[in-house]
Structure 1
Amino acid sequence: MQRVIDHGFYRGLLGLLALGLSASVSAQGFDPSPAQPLDHIVAVVEEDVIMASELRQRMQLIAQQIQTRGGLLPDEAILIRQVAERLALERLQLQEARRIGIRIDDLTLNNAVEAIARDNQLSLPEFREQLLAQGLNFAQFREQVRDELTIAQLRRRQVENRIQVTEQEIDDLIASESGAIDSGMQYRLQHILVALPEGASPQDIQSARAKAEALRQEAQAGADFTELALRASSSQHALEGGDLGWRGAAQIPTLFARHVVLMRVGDISEVVRSPSGFHLIRLAERRGGERANITQIRARHILIQPSEILSDTEARERLLVLRQRILDGDDFATLAQAHSQDRGSALRGGDLGFISPGELVPEFEQTIAQLSPGVLSEVFKSAFGWHLAEVLEYRQHDGSRELMRNQAREIIRERKREDELELWLRRLRDESFIEYRLDGISHANAP
């Protein structure tokens, strides 16, 4: 399960409302007068079709958006081709959503429409009246919002799962911006150097590395780092037990900076190579900067996802059966291993480990936050499907490092998201049948 960004799905709709658009408003060059040709099919998209009236209406809206921004309208043939392609991609996504069982229920839809009304500083009745005054059909507007929600959920499920962020990428981002991230933070470090002689031979290098690795293993096993430094370090600080004193992020040698910013108090770094030899760093203390004491929740869950062969209702009912079995005495972990479709956690009996705020989708976090340890949740839904969850324990935790890593992870995901979306849409487009029939709209060639 991954964190997703919500409530951005209706930005485009709000933009249209802010322009005061209506189906009867004509944009320059696209006059929807009674002289328009009779409605006809302009594109076949798999088992669906796009009508000329739909294409003209969308062209009107987009043209007015461009003009409101002060932009110049492209050539009519180009606009027709681009709008037709956009409509076709929307149809393909809606078809894919239906195929895998994504459906937006009326409660979710009502909440979204009410949110749009609030963002326009209107009550729902006032919002409906404004739409009617602009010539917009409220029922059609609701279905447009449903389509937007459906596509947004499809993209979360299909695109988010394709975005991979490695721990190395997170480390690199944090290290490259450590001065800004750790502004005001100070570190007290201890250091051990296993020196290399001038013109060291391969055997010298191998021997020094082995000694450094052995010292690291001793330190991790509980040996006193100060004593190790006094006994084995060649550093100028050896007599102080390797103590480098308090240093700000900018004062830490570049060689160690990327390691220190990622360490917890008491952590021992990896063995680090430099021209002078092999180094070990221990973070003895840390002070200053922002602290983030958070409540972490350790929970487990069972996920059932609707699909082409399993309807949304059937997925929910399957979980209801599992919930009753657990209440009757069956083991949660055993059922999670056998039935949960979150395969990563299923292998651990559904255990998600300790969860920090913001790590998972809001619907999941809000539900488990209301549970006491050992209490089984009701069956509930998120963008990933239907869940059954149980809280195992709570703990208070210094989440400063996790908060930093989560922020870095989201920055990287955001950078990758657009590329992944474009690749997925192109793959969906290339694997689908689309036939354009645009002669009734323009003499331009079909896309």
Structure 2
Amino acid sequence: MKAINFKTFLFTIVSFFALSSGAQAVERVVATINGAPILESQVKRVLGKKANTEANRQVALNSIIDDILVQQAIKEAGVKINYAQVDQIIENIAAQNGLTYGQLLDALDYQGIAFETYRRQIANQLLMSEVRNQAIGKSVDITREEVQALGQKMLKQAQEKGTEKKVTGTEYQVRHILLKLNPLLNDAQAKAQLNQIRAEITSGKTSFADAALKYSKDYLSGANGGNLGFAFPETYVESFAKTVKNTPKGTISAPFKSDFGWHILEVTDTRQGNRTQEAYMQKAYEQLVNQQLQEASKDWVKALRKHADIKYLK
């Protein structure tokens, strides 16, 4: 294994280890932040091989201050580490850099970095991201018009360059019967009534279409035999979408509850639908969110600084 293969890759791995160890001997404190000391050795460690000029020292010190403020915010938020997610991220890092998991471990060992230390640092980065997103998530405001404009632009550019990625998915043709709750119909009664309707349909006493017309409180679809047409599951509320995907074609589901009331449904057919435009819209949305998050993240750290007690010592 050649050492040169690791150096570029591991530059980003080791870059955030600068603050991980404290000085072994008593040394000069250059600043305090909310009472926590910042040592000269920490500044030198962040400086690395850069010239020890006043400008470079200030940049290094600001970086340390920002990191400590984020660490304190994590502690105050009380966010817990999800190590299963951490391990998945590590596997992704290895794959993205063309390494097997074993090769990644070799790379860390070559640089003298213990795997558990690396794992804790990844966990810390994950916590930082989660706390930041909790703090600034509400400030993200993306309009439908912005998403559509960017998504259409991205799709058009891909088509012109011949790089368009076709995306397909399963559409389900569904019909349902809905009972809405009211002062005279509670959950137990609605569920029991739907079980009775379901039994009548499966025994052949009535058809689904006739039962929908007679009982369904979704009057628009009820007039059409309960038919909702073809749609991707994600267009429905979560409980309805889950039932659609879990119900075999040609069978009637057990009664289930959604935001609208109690239902039974039947999947009458499926087909492959084109989701390319939808995929580009999702990609556009994620890009717009990330842009806003990056800007809001800068403001968040500024806000942490504004409320912090920072003292520079000579």
Q: Give the TM-score range, shorter chain.
A: 0.5 to 0.7
In structure 2, what is the Cα distance between the partners aligned to 1:46 and 1:393?
61
Counterpart code for 1:402: E
1:326-369 superposed Cα distances (whole Å, 9 cap, x missing partner):
xxx9x9xxxxxxxxxxxxxxxxxxxxx9538xxxxxxxxxxx79
Letter in 1 for 2:54: A
Which one-letter code corresponds to 1:148 in the other structure?
A: Q
- Post-superposition CA distance 1:200-247 (Å, at most 9, x none): xxxxxxxxxxxxxxxxxxxxxxxxxxxxxxxxxxxxxxxxxxxxxxxx
1:293: which partner in 2? 168
Whole-angstrom distance in 2 between the partners of 1:292 and 1:85: 45
Aligned 8 A contact 1:165 1:413 in 2? yes
Gaps in structure 1 of 5+ consecutive residues: 1-11, 24-33, 64-72, 185-288, 298-328, 332-352, 357-367, 376-391, 440-447
Q: Which residue of 1 aligns with 2:139?
A: 162
Q: Does residue 1:432 correspond to 2:311, yes or no?
A: no
Report the Cα offset of residue 393 of structure 1.
9.5
Maintained 8 Å contact 1:22/1:136:
no
Q: 1:15 aligns with which of 8, 11, 17?
A: 11
Q: In the TM superposition, what are the counterparts of 1:90-101 in structure 2 within 5 Å?
A: 90-101=67-78
Measured at CA, do residues 99 and 429 of structure 1 come closer, stay the same or move farther in structure 2, by a change above 3 Å?
same
Higher helix share: 2
- Cross-structure match for 2:117: 140
1:411: which partner in 2?
287
Classify 1:15/1:402 alpha carbon distance in 2 versus 1 (closer, same or farther; 3 Å). Answer: same
CA, structure 1 residues 157+41, in 2 after alignment: closer, same or farther (shift >3 Å)?
same
1:6-405 to 2 correspondence within 5 Å? Answer: 14-17=10-13, 38-46=26-34, 48-60=36-48, 63=49, 73=50, 76-117=53-94, 119=97, 121=99, 123-124=101-102, 127-128=104-105, 130-174=107-151, 179-180=156-157, 292-295=167-170, 354-355=233-234, 372=246, 397-405=273-281
Deviation sequence 1:154-199 (CA, Å, 0-9, x none): 2333334422110122244356667536659xxxxxxxxxxxxxxx
2:114 and 2:40 map into 1 onto residues whose CA distance is: 19
Give the C-alpha shift of residue 421 in structure 1.
Answer: 1.8
> Does the CA-based 8 Å contact 2:136-2:297 persist in structure 1?
yes
How far apart, CA to CA, are the structure 1 residues paired with 2:266 and 2:38?
53
For 1:108, what is the secondary structure of its paired residue? helix
Deviation per residue, 1:244-289 (Å, 9 max, x gap): xxxxxxxxxxxxxxxxxxxxxxxxxxxxxxxxxxxxxxxxxxxxx9
| Distance change (3 Å), C-alpha of 1:13 and 1:130 | closer
Q: List runs of 5+ in structure 2 lacking aligned partners.
A: 1-7, 173-187, 191-231, 236-241, 248-252, 255-264
Aligned to 2:5: none
Determine the C-alpha separation between the residues in 2 that align with 1:18 and 1:96.
Answer: 23
Select between 84-93 and 110-119 the one with higher mean Cα deviation: 110-119
On the 8 A contact 2:136/2:296 being kept in 1, the answer is yes
Alpha-carbon contact 2:152-2:280 (below 8 Å) kept: no
Verify the 8 A CA contact 2:32 2:311 in the aligned structure 1: yes
Aligned-residue RMSD, C-alpha: 4.5
Alpha-carbon deviation of 1:94? 1.9
CA distance in 2, matches of 1:432, 1:100: 16
| Distance in structure 2 (CA, Å) of the matches to 1:141 and 1:85 | 24
Q: Name the CA shift for 1:175/1:59 in 2 (closer, same or farther; >3 Å).
A: same
Q: How many residues align?
A: 218
Percent identical among aligned pairs is 17
Work out whether residues 151 and 283 of structure 2, in 8 Å CA contact, stay in contact via their aligned partners in 1: no
- Separation (CA, whole Å) in 2 of partners of 1:176 and 1:39: 57
- TM-score, normalised via structure 1 length: 0.39
Go from structure 1 to structure 2 and tell me whether the alpha carbon gap of 1:431 and 1:113 turns closer, same or farther (over 3 Å shift).
same
- Distance in 2, matches of 1:92 and 1:393, equals 54
Separation (CA, whole Å) in 2 of partners of 1:431 and 1:165: 29
Structure 1 CA distance for aligned equivalents of residues 27 and 105 of structure 2: 28
1:103 alignment partner, SS class = coil
Q: Quick one: structure 1 residues 51 and 107, their matched pair in 2 at CA, closer, same or farther if it must change by over 3 Å?
A: farther
Preserved contact between residue 74 and residue 127 of structure 2 (Cα < 8 Å): yes
Query: Hey, what does 1:26 align to over in structure 2?
Result: none
SS in 1 for 2:246: coil
- Which of 1 and 2 has higher RCO (CA within 8 Å, sep 6+)? 2
Distance of aligned partners of 1:80 and 1:133 in 2 relative to their CA distance in 1, 3 Å threshold: same
**Residue 155 of structure 2 contacts residue 280 of structure 2 at CA under 8 Å; is this kept in 1?**
no
